[in-house]
Amino acid sequence: QGIDANVTRCFRLLQHLCLVGDFFAHALIIKLIHHDPIKRRQAFVKNTSRIARKFIKAFRISLRVDHPERMAALKDQAYLLVANHGSYTDIIILSALEELTFITSVEMGNNYFLGPITRYGGSLFTNRKRPVSLKQEIQNFSDAIMQGFKVVLFAEGTSTDGRTVKEFRKSLFQVAINARCPVLPVCINYRSIDGKPIDDCNRDMIYWYGDMNFGPHFMKLLNRRIEAEVHILESLAISDGKMRAELSDEVFGSIHACYHSAKERT
């Protein structure tokens, strides 16, 4: 039985490596043929969504989407999607649902393995340690939405252990105000691993946070069965005079309430 388990894990690892190779092969072709930065990002994002749908199967994620019609209603619009954040699998799940551009940290962009994936995934970067650059970053992210991109903000500012939704950082909500675009709140909830509800014994198998190293965490997650839910909440329109703090609090309230409501049903 132990030998069979090791063979299965090797197969799963090979499957993931093939998908990573597929992702980079297409990304390099995109880089060669698209010289316009907007068209290049569009192609990167489309490639990311394509490969994410394959990774859903490779990670054995059973995904339930609540109110997908709310996302479908914004299919032809650019918007700011705001979600809670517990793991790198959040990005795979969201990308499998829609072609999205993610705001991530400069530190992530400099990571030896995840950095190239974020760059070739069409990500936008923020330097949280350099507040002086914030104004220009907000303008860059607003410009991306006005260019037609659906931009994702993990407003907690970092991934968490999944016990709750942490208070949102309010500054980047200015992006939606500047772009005059809808805000789509999304709540991600992991229900079980290998059929067992998430608790203190297994949460670190799925949640990736703090100073956890990617490699060992990824290897622990290999060949697990994951049950996840995505709740698409009501979108918010930007009204005249709305401040970013007010917008942040409203979005936080809806995601926080949904998250804990879902946890109570587990």
Please give the distance of CA 184 from its chain centroid, rounded to a whole number: 13
- pLDDT score at 259: 97
Identity of residue 125: F
- pLDDT score at 2: 54
**Tens-digit pLDDT profile for residues 16-60:** 999 999 999 999 999 999 999 999 999 999 999 999 999 999 999
- pLDDT score at 257: 97
**Tens-digit pLDDT profile for residues 93-117:** 999 999 999 999 998 888 888 999 9
Query: What pTM was computed for the model?
Result: 0.94
Q: Which residue in 125, 122, 141 sits closest to 52, CA to CA?
A: 122
- pLDDT score at 266: 58
**Tens-digit pLDDT profile for residues 48-80:** 999 999 999 999 999 999 999 999 999 999 999
Q: Rounded to whole angstroms, how far apart are CA atoms 30 and 7?
A: 35
- pLDDT score at 123: 97
Q: What is the mean pLDDT of the chain?
A: 94
Q: Which residue in 202, 195, 250 sits closest to 225, CA to CA?
A: 195
- pLDDT score at 129: 79
Contact of 181 with 78, CB cutoff 8 Å: yes
Tell me the C-alpha to C-alpha distance, in Å, between residue 169 and each of 31, 76, 116, 155, 165.
33, 28, 26, 6, 12
**Tens-digit pLDDT profile for residues 141-179:** 999 999 999 999 999 999 999 999 999 999 999 999 999
Q: Rounded to whole angstroms, how far apart are CA atoms 133 and 124?
A: 14
Q: Rounded to whole angstroms, how far apart are CA atoms 257 and 194?
A: 26
